Each structure stands twice: as structure tokens, then as C-alpha cells.
Amino acid sequence: MSTMKFPKNLIILTILSIIALSLIWVSCQKSEMKNYLSETSAERDQRMAWWREARFGLFIHWGLYAVPAGEWKEGKNHAEWIRTTAQIPLEEYDKFVPQFNPVQFNADEWVTMAKAAGMKYIVITSKHHDGFCLFDSKETDFDVMSTPFQRDIMKELAEACRKQDMKICWYHSIMDWHHPDYLPRREWETERSADGANFERYIQYMKNQLRELVSNYGEIGVLWFDGEWESTWNREYGRDLYNYVRNLQPNIIINNRVGAGRSGMEGFTKGGEFVGDFGTPEQTIPATGLAGVDWETCMTMNDHWGYNKNDQNWKSTKDLIQKLADIASKGGNFLLNIGPTAEGLFPQASIDRLKAMGEWMKVNSEAIYGTHASPFASLVWGRCTQKAIENGTRLYLHVFDWPANKSLMVPGIYNQPIQAYLLADATKSALNVTRVEDALVIDVPAQAPDSINSVVVLEIQGQPDISDPPKIVADQDIFIDELSVSLVSDRENIEIHYTLDGTIPELNAPVAVAPLKLTATTTVSGRIFRDGKAVSGTIQKTFTKVTPIPAVQATNPQPGLNYAYYEGDWELLPDFKTLTAKKSGTIPTFDISVRDQIEHFGFEYAGFIKIPVDGIYLFYLDSDDGSQLFMGDKLVIDNDGLHGLQERRVALPLDAGYHPLRVKFFDKTGGDGLVVSIKGPGIEKQRIGEAMLFH
């Protein structure tokens, strides 16, 4: 049969026009994307309002891993990571699919228990690192519809939440140990080739699933990303994904694990990196809140996120209730986890704790919902949360240790009291309040209303006026010629008296009315007075005048750094001088992408940095794993060791000109990263670029 011949150039023209049209389509898509990264604070406050009010949510880790329930061969300490921690090959792990049939799952019962506990939102694993989807996805068969259960769990839970005015939220893992395009492979998965894997194609798969999750289940409260720490994910992907999801649902809230800037389990994002909407401390509660930063501690009730049938190390109800108060007293949210069984049930120990927390919340939730961080640095008997009221403030005093002498002392507070009463007392019968020096003392009954946390309400006039000393504010602790230092406080109707000789300021000491100009090493002390009386302690800080490090003569400096690349398995930085480099040469800046393998490698970079003007310069070293920065022969930043992305910094006085510097870096396994940044006179914090580097 003759076949029609198309002239070659017509075929080429057709292909080119298809490419051109698809590029136009993609750019249209991008151009239609609104940029939510530049949201106003008013818009953000409106979007965050329900979440800040909520303060308390339920985390649910559920999936195929509930089937083995923590056990594999001899191992009994696994959970949601079991495919990796037990090194289960894909085809073995897939055998859990036909075993997943949680016939006792009842979404309404789960939501009822969460609501009774006082929780306002539920975050459930739509897909954890194992890649299995608890929802009906058109993008994969590795989902709940391929199990005997064949019901869309996300759909049922979303509907149950809506019925009970509970926000439904999705956890979604960026890391995916099942999808063929996800990289890197697990180190032990030597049989599973990465040939043909295309990470960009994986990102599109993830975006397609997120479109399903954020379009098919109604309004979603939070997208809780996780698994963002591996080397293939980065800040740019995170910013793009944040915008992508916000364009699907503009009011959705997204955590900081969408980006790549989270520093470890303390969960906050380093300055300058993309942050998402809230920090995510994990299994830990920050020592204090961070003014103006939204954050949420996520925590297990025992030692595992996913169900482990052998894990009976349950936190006590007392511990959980006091943790809820502690977190709220620092301005954070508490996301408390349950790992349901393969049958679809909450473990009884979890049910018991939810119930007991609900009993406490039934009486005291006003002291949690919509509250703000404590105005006190610390309280020996418990915690404090607060709310604004007309012409004053309502303090919720969470008393863990009830005073045996029936006198509850609230130290260092200068406000006039309005009234005090027990939150558990429906009649709000007044408690007597007297002033003793800088404290207010509340007469309380002998018997605490609650054995774990009794809330005493103290209403005061105006904003809290606490005996905090003034703050001492300056750019640096060291200076070359002159340094401006300010003493500040937001307390009203006060004077700040100061000394410059290390003595305690008394009433006759000078008053700080403008920034102080220091020209020699000085210890600044500040103390607050009102109506001739000291109403704070004293704060002190020493500022040191230093001689700048002289520049060196660089002979015929050329752009770029010398570098040497090594391979090896280290726990700490080796002495590279004793090793043979795999390769070396010059490189424009600190760049680890020239490595020949994705783990067990190291670099040493050496050259000069050209400092523009005399001044104090901050250097930052952010790495996963270890790194060190040398200026001349001096080790100035030691960030060595096995760790996730972690940033350390140093301030150095430098003369203008060339300064010799050296950076050592190594990565063992898992994520990796190296960022060397600088901040100085006229230089905002930024990566040290090619323009400043020479050899």
C-alpha cells in the first residue's frame, strides 16, 4: 500500500509549532499564577485568624504501615518509616496493599473524639514518605482504591469534619519512596535503579495530586508539607509549590516545610530563607515564643507517629495538658498525634487521653483558644496566657503547683488589678488581690479546682506592665571606631537610667533619652524607674572596641576559588591534606554540585575574599553535614558534625582588601547543602558571590 510522503520540512514545522504552542500555554499558566509571596500582613492575619484562634489540633499518621504495626521480622520498633528502617523492598511492601482493610474506620467517631478533646482542626497523612495515598487519586494506583477497603478515606473524613465544624487539613510528603521519578533512592535500594528517573516529572506528579487534594474535598485548612530535607528539593521549588497551592485555594495555610530552610527539629526557618506560614518544632517545645512568628509543636502521645502495637510509652494526661498550656503560653499551637490501627481504630490509650484533655478543656478552653503569649519571662508555679479586654488585659494564670499557703504570688507586675476569680467558678466569685511591693498576691482557696492545671483569672488595667528590664539594642557587640547603642522599653510612664561603668543604675544615674555613642570598650547597664522608684531589674552588656584584621597582599588575584573534591565516609571533617583529591581546580563560588556522587563526599575551598570597606562583617556557614570556615589560619566558624541544615555565624572586624579564607565541607548520607553568606556595611545578608572571591 503506497503511503503518503510528507515533505520533511512540513514535519519539522509541525513539531516546532507544537513546541511553541505548548510553551505559550505553560507561560500563560505561569503568568496567570498570582504571587502570594508578597501578601500584606493584613491579608495574612485574616487568613491565619482561625488557626491562631484554634491553638489545638489532631495529627493523624495512618497508612499501609499500620498493617505491620511496627513489626518486621525480628524488629519491633518500626512505624511509618518501616519500609526504610526495615529495608523492605518495594515489591514486598506493596503486599500490604491487599491487607489494608480498616473496616472499623468511622470518620464521624474520629471527629467526635477530636472535637470532644477541644481540638479545632485535623491534619491527616494524605500521603506519607512511603508514597501510599489514602485518597482516590487518578495519578496512581498506589492508593486506597487498590485495597479491599476501596473507600476514599480523605473524602469521608472531610465530610465528617464539615458536619462538626472541624477544619480538615492534609499532611503531604514531598519525599516519596515509591514513585519511580522521585530521587534520591534509598541508599540500601541498590537493586532499584534510578535510571530514567526524572525529578521534574515527579514534581508535576506531586502537583497533580495536590490539585486533587485541594480541589476535590472542599475547603482545606492547612497543607502540612513534610519530607523536604533531601538534596533534590530546594528553596525555589518550595516557593513555587507554595504559590501553586495558594493559587488553588488562596486562603489555605501552608507550613514551613514546603521550603528548604527548616533547621532541624526545632522547626524554625533560618533568616533569609523562604518560611511558609508557620514554624514546625517537632517533639519539642521552644524555650520561649518568638514575637511575630506563628509556630506549632507537633508531638506523639507515645514514641511513634504511625501505629506501633508494642509502644506503650504513653505520655501522661497531666503531661499533655500541661504541654498544651506551656505551648499556648509561648504563643504556639499544639498538634497532638494519633496513629490509628490497621482496623481503623484509635488506640485505647489515645482515646483515654483525648477524653481526659476534653474534660479539662470543657472547663478551661477559654484560657487556650485565641490567647496570646505570656507577658512574663517565667513563673515558678505554672504558665500564663492572655487576651485583651476593654481598657485592659485578662491574664489566665495556669497554676500547676497550687500554693499551700493559699497565696498565689504574681511577681513583677505594676498594673492595677480589676478583679480575680477561678475560671472553674461559674459564679466568678471575687478573689482578694493585694499588692506586695512589685507583686500582686491573690488569695485562693485551699483546694485547687484541678489537680493538673487550675486557671486563675486576673484582670488588670491597661497593657501588662511587667518588671522586664529595658532592652539594649546595637548592631554588634564589637566595633572598630564608634557604635550606637540604644536602651528601649515598651512600658509606659517610665525613665530608663543607665551607667557606663558596670555599676547598677540608681535614680541619680543619667536618663537614656537618645542612642549612646560608644568610642571605647564599655559596659552599658540599664534599669527602669517610675515616680522615682526602680520598677525593674538591671540589664548589662559589654561592647568591645577591636582592631580590624589587616588585609594581605594578594599577588595577581584571579576570580574564583581553588577547590579540591574528595570522596570518603566520615562522621567529622577529615584532614583533607592527608587525603588524595578525586579532582581539583578553580570554581566561581562555594558550589557542591560539581560532586561526582550524592553522598560520602567532601570539598575544600581556598582563596581570598575582597572586603570593600573597613568594618564589622558577619559570616554565616549553613551546611548539612559538617563544615568549617577559616580566615587566615584561624578557625572562625566550626559547624562540623553530622547534622541537618544548620547555620552558625561569626562577626569579624576586617580592613578593606583581600583576606585569605578557607571552607571545608563534608556530606555523609541523606540531605546535603552548603551556603556561605556574608552581611556587612552596605551588604544585606547574602551568599558570598563571585564578585568577592579570588585565588
For ligand FHN, the closer CB: 450 or 672 = 672
Q: Is 28 exposed, middle or buried (0-12, 13-18, 19+ CB in 10 A)?
A: exposed
Nearest distance from residue 66's CB to ligand FHN, in Å? 13
At residue 163, φ and ψ (nearest 5 deg) are: -65, -30
Element (H, E) at 82: helix 82-85
CB closer to ligand FHN, 298 vs 609: 298
- What is the closest distance, in whole angstroms, from the C-beta atom of residue 81 to ligand FHN in the complex? 6
Contacts of 639 (CB under 8 A, 6+ apart): 621, 622, 623, 626, 627, 628, 629, 646, 647, 648
| Per-residue mark of binding to ligand FHN, 137-176 (x: CB under 6 A) | ----------------------------------------
Least distance CB 302 / ligand FHN (angstroms): 14
For 239-255, b where at least 16 C-beta lie within 10 A, e where not — what string?
A: bbbbbbbbbbbeebbbb
Half-sphere exposure of 56 (CA within 13 A, CB side): 26
Per CB under 6 A, contacts with ligand FHN among 217-256 are: 226
3 state DSSP class of 167: strand
Q: Give the 3-state DSSP-derived string for 325-389, with helices as H, strands as E and coil as C.
A: HHHHHCCCEEEEEECCCCCCCCCHHHHHHHHHHHHHHHHHHHHCCCCECCCCCCECCEEEEEEEE
Q: Least Å distance between CB 329 and ligand FHN?
A: 22
Q: Which residue is nearest to ligand FHN (CB)?
A: 305
Q: Does 384 participate in binding ligand FHN (rule CB under 6 A)?
A: no
Minimum CB separation of residue 412 from ligand FHN in Å reads: 37
| Residue 637 or 645 having the CB closest to ligand FHN | 645
What's the one-letter identity of residue 63? G
**Minimum CB distance to ligand FHN, residue 8 (Å):** 53
User: 77 or 216: whose CB is closer to ligand FHN?
Assistant: 77
Sign of CA dihedral 250, 253, 258, 261: positive
- Least distance to ligand FHN from the beta carbon of 79, Å? 7
User: Nearer to ligand FHN by C-beta: 133 or 528?
Assistant: 133
CB nearer ligand FHN, residue 273 or residue 282: 282
User: What letter would DSSP give residue 466?
Assistant: B
Give a three-class secondary structure readout of 599-667. Answer: CCEEEEEEEEEEECCCEEEEEEEEEECCEEEEECCEEEEEECCCCCCEEEEEEEEECCEEEEEEEEEEE
Q: Render 561-589 in DSSP notation, one character per residue.
A: EEEEEEE---SS---GGGS--SEEEEESS
CA dist 364 and 491 (Å) reads 30
226 or 672: CB nearest ligand FHN: 226
First and final CA of the chain: distance in angstroms? 70
Residue 452 beta carbon to ligand FHN: minimum distance, rounded to whole angstroms: 26
Binding residue for ligand FHN, selected from 298, 299, 321, 327, defined by CB under 6 A? 298
Q: What is the rounded distance in angstroms from the CA atom of residue 262 to the CA atom of residue 646?
A: 9
How far is 185 from 175, CA to CA, in rounded Å?
A: 10
In the complex, minimum distance from the CB of residue 464 to ligand FHN, in angstroms, rounded to a whole number: 34
Instruction: Tell me the closest approach of the beta carbon of residue 87 to ligand FHN, in angstroms.
Output: 16
Which CB, 62 or 590, lies closer to ligand FHN?
62
The residue among 335 and 466 lying less far from ligand FHN, judged by its C-beta, is 335
Residue 314 Cβ, how far from ligand FHN at the closest point, in Å? 18
Query: Does 282 participate in binding ligand FHN (rule CB under 6 A)?
Result: yes
369 vs 366: CA distance, rounded Å: 6
By CB under 6 A, the residues from 43 to 62 that bind ligand FHN are 61
80 binds ligand FHN (CB under 6 A): yes
Q: Indicate the residue among 226 and 294 with the shorter CB distance to ligand FHN.
A: 226
Interface positions, 87-116, toward ligand FHN (CB under 6 A): none
The answer to the question of residue 305 lying near ligand FHN (CB under 6 A) is: yes
66 binds ligand FHN (CB under 6 A): no
- The C-alpha cell that represents 210 in the structure block: 495536590
Is position 307 an interface residue for ligand FHN (rule: CB under 6 A)?
A: no
Nearer of residues 128 and 491 to ligand FHN, judged by Cβ: 128
Distance CA 534, CA 537 (A): 8
Distance in angstroms (rounded) separating the CA atoms of residues 262 and 605? 26
Binding site for ligand FHN (CB under 6 A): 61, 80-81, 226, 282, 298, 305
